[in-house]
Structure 1
Amino acid sequence: MLGNFVYSNPTKIYFGDEALKGLNQELPKYGKKVMLIYGGGSIKKIGLYDEIIKILKENDKEIIEDPGVMPNPTVDKLYEGCKIAKDNDVDLILAVGGGSVCDYAKAVSASAHCDEDPWNKYFLRMEEVDNRIIPIGCVLTMVGTGSEMNGGSVITNTATKQKIGRVFDENVFPKFSILNPVYTFSVPQYQMVAGFFDIMSHILEQYFSGDDDNTSDYIMEGLIRSLIHSSRIAVKNPKDYEARSNIMWTSTWALNTLVEKGKSEDWMVHMIGQAIGGYTDATHGMTLSAVSMPYYRYIMPYGLHKFKRYAINVWNVNPEGKTDEEIAKEGLDRMEAYMREIGLVMNIRDLGVTEDMLEGIASNTFILTGGYKVLTHEEIIDILKSSM
């Protein structure tokens, strides 16, 4: 492990099929007014909404609702949520849903008491939060983002076609998160497998960086192997509790800041995928799957040692009699076969991308420097063309 780091994660996790009972332990710690944030109503269909309302009332809470959070939360929705939170002077935000709901809740938490435009301050200028922060808790119903145990928040500005991720400091992390794998059973297959790849992509963005012998890399290889195994089971039987529970826990550990320690990190797949999302409103995990293979095949020569290791340790490629390049290529071929097997989108055209969008998407892609190759604008265009 190279360099120096500090590790702290303040989020308390309640995990398992009785995790919701943890609400009764957490709610007394906060004031009377609870802002209940959720999405399009799926939590009502599975009965979770009624359970939570009952627990809130039993704890003598005043409930202020903010429903209708969309899969890619918009800045207009953020402004709406900030007004609700500030006007009602809420004491706690309770986000019930998937990663988008949790992301949105964190943005409201940090922005409700901001004296200027939070989009400009926190998402464009990336300034530190210097105003009152509303504590949040999460009840997770879909896995993928890891938002339940980190400071990440992704917001879309539809007017400018920008989809920007902001990682807030630990003071914006959820204070607690409730993870019951059963709540994920009702997620449609398309969204489920998109979430699976979101998990894998989070791990790979951190894995494909650095040259040192890093403990984090060993942890990530184990997480990916677990994900591959359990996702194959879940695709065939979405209600397999053991598989879904393993995936839920893998998702949390993929992006709760642990495995990033000692790493430089890449994140270019996410930068390109988010730029695509800004133009198409496509499902996040599918924007990542659609560009991953062209991207990784492009940067493979620059990080050949790690791609060789990935092929052997994750995809069980037999290195005997093969060059390093042949080993690495076979690993990516096996990864692509797996992606097709579980039903991921493999090209951006299927997400609604057209040729005339490519220049704009590339221009809206933030270029980061932590991976094995710092891309130029023209190289991003080439990768997008290879993804069509």
Structure 2
Amino acid sequence: MLGNFSYCNPTKLYFGEDALENLIVELAKYGNNVALVYGSGSIKKNGIYDEIMDILKSAGKTVSEIAGVMPNPTVHKLYEGVEIARTHKVDFILAVGGGSVVDYAKALSVSIHCEEDPWEKYYARFEEPVCEIVPVGVVLTMVGTGSEMNTGAVITYPEKKLKIGHVFTDERIMPKFSILNPRYTMSLPKNQMIAGIYDIFNHICEQYFSGEDDNTSDYISEGLIKSVIHSSRIAIKDKNDYEARSNLMWSATWALNTLVSRGKSTDWMVHMIGQSVGACSNATHGMTLSAVSLPYYKMIMPYGVRKFARFAVNVWDISPDGKNEEELAKEGLSAMEAWMKELGLAMKLSEIGVTMEMIDDIVNGTLIMEGGYKVLSKEDVRKVLMQSM
């Protein structure tokens, strides 16, 4: 392994069918004024809302609700939440939902006491908070983002056609605890499950496809990817298979709690392009990633052919006999494509509502990241998008 690094992850996890029993113990550590943050209301239909409200009442908490957090939470929703939280003097945030709800809760946590416009401070200038941060706890109901164990918070500004993720460096923004019950994920529609699966897979790939040194993080990544592939095939046949869903939930957490990025440069260009697609189309995040992934990886493959060949052998079990690295690399990407189609992922941007008229805005809204095998130009981004149409 090359370079120096530090690693700290203070989020406490409770995993399994009885995980929610620990909520009342955790609530006792925080203030009485709780903001309950959730999405469109599915937690009311499946009973999770009632369970949590009973626990909050048992803990003697005063609860204000911030409902209706959308799949791509907007800055306007953030402003709304800040006003509610300030009015009710919120001193703890409980996020109940998937990655968008958890991202929103973390953005809210650094914005409540911020004296500046949080969009300008955190998403335009990428500054760190200097104000008091309201602690966040999580009850996860959808897997994919890994937001339950990291400091990332993605917010969309629709009028500017920008969707930006800020991965804060301040450890106080990490959720204090996350409750992970795989049963809670089983009521989601199949297409949301599939989108989440690809988000997990791509998080790992963004960290894997960089560097050439013999890195322990890459061996961990290969194991995680193989687990995701195996469990995904079971879950798409039976979405109520507990073992498969629990393995996907656990893989999602470890895919983006920064463990597998240690000692490595990382890429993230698929996410930058995908997020810009989402800002312009409001399409489901995992599907924006799947639609642009193959054209992107085919573009950078010649610059990192050794790792792509390793990916073919170690992840997809392709025999290296009689093949050079380029041939192996191409076979690996073909195997990946076949698996993506098997899941039913979007393979073209046109499938998720992207039109040619959106391309300029998507290009302009794509942040260029370094760390991968090739630093893209804006024209390269355009080529990826055109090949994805």
TM range (shorter): over 0.9
User: 1:344-378 CA deviation, whole Å, 9 max, x = no partner?
Assistant: 00000111111121121111101111000001111
How many Å separate the matches in 2 of 1:380 and 1:136? 36
Q: Which residue of 2 aligns with 1:178?
A: 179
Q: How many residues align?
A: 388
Q: Which residue of 1 aligns with 2:12?
A: 12
Q: CA deviation at 1:263?
A: 0.9
Q: Which residue of 1 aligns with 2:219?
A: 218
Corresponding letter in the other structure for 1:158: P
How many Å separate the matches in 2 of 1:131 and 1:124? 18
273-282 vs 85-94, which moves further: 85-94
User: 1:9-42 CA deviation, whole Å, 9 max, x = no partner?
Assistant: 0100000000001101101101111100000010
Q: Which residue of 1 aligns with 2:118?
A: 118
Identity %: 64
Q: CA deviation at 1:170?
A: 1.5
Q: CA deviation at 1:287?
A: 0.2
How many Å separate the matches in 2 of 1:4 and 1:86? 41
* Structural mapping, 1:1-388, within 5 Å: 1-168=1-168, 169-388=170-389
How many Å separate the matches in 1 of 2:326 and 2:102? 41
193-202 vs 166-175, which moves further: 166-175
Q: Match of 1:259, SS?
A: helix
Corresponding letter in the other structure for 1:323: N
How many Å separate the matches in 2 of 1:86 and 1:4? 41
How many Å separate the matches in 1 of 2:30 and 2:89? 13
Corresponding letter in the other structure for 1:147: S
User: 1:75-103 CA deviation, whole Å, 9 max, x = no partner?
Assistant: 00000011111221111100000000000
TM-score (norm 2): 0.99
Corresponding letter in the other structure for 1:145: T
Q: Gapped runs of 5+ residues in structure 2? A: none
Q: Match of 1:138, SS?
A: strand
How many Å separate the matches in 1 of 2:97 and 2:275? 21
User: 1:118-141 CA deviation, whole Å, 9 max, x = no partner?
Assistant: 000001100011001000000000
How many Å separate the matches in 2 of 1:356 and 1:49? 41
User: 1:259-298 CA deviation, whole Å, 9 max, x = no partner?
Assistant: 1101100000000000000100000000000000000011
Q: CA deviation at 1:208?
A: 0.3
How many Å separate the matches in 2 of 1:35 and 1:380? 40
Q: CA deviation at 1:256?
A: 0.5
How many Å separate the matches in 1 of 2:41 and 2:279? 24
Corresponding letter in the other structure for 1:367: I
How many Å separate the matches in 2 of 1:76 and 1:55? 30
Root-mean-square deviation (CA), in Å? 0.6
User: 1:103-153 CA deviation, whole Å, 9 max, x = no partner?
Assistant: 000000011111010000001100011001000000000000000000011
How many Å separate the matches in 2 of 1:188 and 1:172? 30
Q: Match of 2:304, SS?
A: helix
Corresponding letter in the other structure for 1:192: M
Q: Match of 1:236, SS?
A: coil
4+ runs deviating over 4 angstroms:
none
How many Å separate the matches in 2 of 1:324 and 1:215? 21
TM-score (norm 1): 0.99
Q: Match of 2:107, SS?
A: helix
How many Å separate the matches in 2 of 1:158 and 1:354? 17
Corresponding letter in the other structure for 2:124: L
How many Å separate the matches in 1 of 2:381 and 2:361? 11
How many Å separate the matches in 2 of 1:107 and 1:324? 43
Corresponding letter in the other structure for 2:319: N
Corresponding letter in the other structure for 2:22: G
